[in-house]
Amino acid sequence: MSKLIKDPDFSDLAALDAGEALSEPFGGGALERRPIAEQVATRIMGMIKSGNLRSGDRLPTEQQMGIAFGISRPPLREALKALTLMGVLESRQGGRYSVTDLSPSRLVAPFSTMLSFADYDVREHFEARVVVELELVRLCAERADEATRARILELAVDGRAFHEDPVAFRLLDIEFHRALYGGGGSRLLAAMAEGLYDVGLDVRRVASALPGVIEISVAQHVQIAEAVMARDGAAATAAYRRHLEHVRDTSGQAQDVIGAEAAAKR
């Protein structure tokens, strides 16, 4: 089983001494072969979006982050510099970085026009995901190397430990889907899929806390991963379609919950 820190943030990593450093890169596996700095920046932004890094949190040292991500310092520094220029991080005395006040303008994503609850359309969102992601999963079943296939299966199986922990599961879910996207061998489609994944995150946070949702998702992840391991593109896409339908339906339920809670506060 890969190491995934329960409710992880970088303050946990900062407490590790050299002897306790992660033996595997943080998040369940090595970073894919896209520009490394871009991947690191994306991972840190993902932790911020998920709430595992919050305003004022101090990141570990560069050495500790390098161990956690399994990379050298130059791409790490490039990622930290980019996030600093974006206003997401700020450099403090002693060379450590901290998360800024995170005003909304700093966290705008490519699909930001769809992120507000009022404008979010569940069915429109998942129509787009079906078009992009089913093809990526088919390609992943055909093209992924053995290490990527093994990582996908490991991430899927590891999810069984998080049926009652929505935060930890969401982190694992991000890594599982990114591994699938990367395994397809199409950088452009993978970038589109990641952008679509990030749409409606507030709804997804609520959905992941609904009874039974995580358990079903994990079982579906395992089915997808086993089909990918078997290089069965048809089975992988069929299983992934069922998973997207589950995510779509539970997102709709979560949207109803959010709407009801907002109405009750008026």
Residue 58 pLDDT class (50, 70, 90 cuts): confident
pLDDT > 70: percent of the chain: 80
Q: Which residue has the higher pLDDT, 70 or 245?
A: 245
Helix H or strand E segment including 98: strand 97-99
**Residue 200 neighbours by CB under 8 Å, 6+ apart:** 114, 115, 120, 122, 125, 251
Per-residue pLDDT tens digits for 107-147: 444 444 444 455 678 999 999 999 999 999 999 999 999 99
How does the average pLDDT of the chain come out, rounded?
A: 81
Residue 22 pLDDT class (50, 70, 90 cuts): very low
Nearest to 79 by CA among 116, 20, 47, 35: 35
Question: Which single residue is written with the structure tokens 């088919």?
Answer: 138
Question: Rounded to a whole number, what is the distance in angstroms from the first to the last CA of the chain?
Answer: 47
At 108 the pLDDT is 43
pLDDT over 50 at 17, yes or no: no
At 38 the pLDDT is 82
Whole-angstrom CA distances from 226 to 30, 87, 132, 156 are: 20, 41, 21, 9
pLDDT over 60 at 212, yes or no: yes
DSSP 58-82: BP--HHHHHHHHT--HHHHHHHHHH
At 29 the pLDDT is 47
What predicted TM-score, i.e. pTM, was given to this entire model? 0.60
Cα 25 to the center of its chain, rounded Å: 15
Q: Which residue has the higher pLDDT, 28 or 244?
A: 244
At 87 the pLDDT is 77
Per-residue pLDDT tens digits for 178-211: 999 999 999 889 988 988 898 888 899 999 999 9
Rg of the chain on CA atoms, in Å: 18
Neighbours of 203 (CB within 10 A): 22
Whole-angstrom CA distances from 89 to 55, 67, 92, 102, 109 are: 9, 20, 10, 9, 16
Backbone phi, psi, residue 89, to 5°: -120, 160
At 102 the pLDDT is 65
At 12 the pLDDT is 46
- pLDDT mean over 94-104: 75
Coil/strand/helix, residue 168: helix
φ/ψ bin of 35: left (φ > 0), alpha (ψ from -120 to 50), beta (otherwise) = beta
Helix H or strand E segment including 89: strand 89-91
At 118 the pLDDT is 56
Query: Of 66-80, 100-114, 229-243, which one has max mean pLDDT?
Result: 229-243
